[in-house]
Amino acid sequence: MFVLLLVVKNAFRHKLRTALTVVGIVVAITAFGLLRTVVDAWYAGANASSSARLVTRSSVSLVFQLPLTYAQKIRQIDGVQAVSWMNWFGGIYITERNFFPQFAVDAASFLDLYPEFTLSPGERKAFLTDRQGAVVGRKLADQYGWKVGDTIPLRGTIYPGTWTFNLRGIYDGADRSTDLSQMFFHWDLLNERIRKIYPRRADQTGLFVVRLKDPQQAAEVSSAIDATFKNSLAETLSETEKAFQLSFVAMTETILLAIQAVSFVVVVIIMAVMANTMAMTARERGAEYATLKALGFSNAFVALLILGESLGIALVGGVLGVLLTFPLAAAFADAMGSLFPIFFVSEETVLMQLAAAVVVGLVAAALPAWRTSRLAIVDGLRAVA
């Protein structure tokens, strides 16, 4: 208790210096947490993907469609439990700024393949029985103030025309990693319109989603699917859902590396500032530490005082930085809208922030503590003049 009281008293002896140092640490730890959360949000789709699902698409590009007849052939492959399909829609709600993902899906099979999208039984039934029905995520509904029964108009881009949908359900997530900013409607409705306008483009889909009987057979089933359609007019590329999601992340990998680098640079900078603060503190108190040694206190005790003071200041700043990260992350997520559909501060990020604060405190005090522990009593007392 004596040591703790002495550390606290020393830490707040120069209140302004300590306050400014704490503020610097708060800013650094908060920035570190926000940058790490941005990186996590970029990988959220891949991390939330299921190991029991495959995605089959055109081997050339996502732009090229696959015949719907492939679904029945895929079902017959050993290891396949269920198949669904979907198309990216790309419609505009009021203005181009209101971007959010929209997919035309085979409703019944799609909902079975994605149990993480939870709907009430009544909303599920209403969606399945309404040809123009649609469901949206809770975050998207809150963003635009939609409620069940509303009519949602979209202006088509890939598929021209004005499309009107009846909101029949608002889905929630099985956990907080579920994307709640998407819209789903019936693929049959899209296909009917295409058949009237572009008959040759009908009965085709952008990709198939395949559920596996055994996730350990992902590689074998992927190879079997692609071999089935090899040398056809529309060859396929099958991969795990996570690999499919990571292919989009790879397009911005350089940006992610830069963000991660900046997050660590921020910590290194505040470490240098903290080290300077502790060096000044140790120099100013050289005579006091020499007196303690003269009274019989060990070198380790003196070093412990400096380490404890540095660690205490760093932890105060670190805890405040962690607490500040949550409201700032929430405000950032609201400002970004659907750009980051999954954006939350993870437990791993919090632990990394606290670990960064501890490292800053220990490293900043290491050299001053070592020098002070080796300080000769006579040299320290000489500075009293």
Domain ranges of the chain: 2-45+252-382, 60-234
**What stretches of the chain adopt beta strand conformation (E)?**
53-58, 66-67, 80-88, 102-105, 117-118, 133-137, 151-156, 161-173, 183-186, 204-205, 207-212, 236-240
Overall residue count recorded for the chain in this entry: 385
Long-range contacts of 295-303 (CB under 8 A, 24+ apart): 299/373, 299/374, 300/373, 301/3, 302/369, 302/372, 302/373, 303/369, 303/370, 303/372, 303/373
- What gap in Å lies between CA 110 and CA 55, rounded to an integer? 13
- Quick one: which of 340, 236, 260, 306 has its CA closest to 36? 260
- What gap in Å lies between CA 375 and CA 287, rounded to an integer? 10
- What gap in Å lies between CA 141 and CA 20, rounded to an integer? 43
* Contact yes or no for 139/181 (Cβ under 8 A): yes
Chunk the chain into consecutive blocks of 10 residues (it has 385) and report each block's average pLDDT, rounded to whole numbers. 66 78 92 92 78 92 92 94 94 89 94 93 95 95 94 91 94 88 95 88 93 93 95 92 83 81 90 84 72 74 80 91 94 78 88 93 85 69 55
Q: What is the pTM of this model?
A: 0.80
The predicted pLDDT at position 120 comes to 94
Amino acid letter, residue 166: N
The predicted pLDDT at position 253 comes to 75
Measured between alpha carbons, how far is residue 14 from residues 7, 11, 125, 154, 284 in Å?
13, 7, 67, 62, 11
The predicted pLDDT at position 275 comes to 86
309-313-319-323 Cα dihedral, nearest 10 degrees: 160
* Contact yes or no for 290/377 (Cβ under 8 A): yes
Measured between alpha carbons, how far is residue 297 from residues 196, 201, 279, 362 in Å?
91, 86, 21, 22
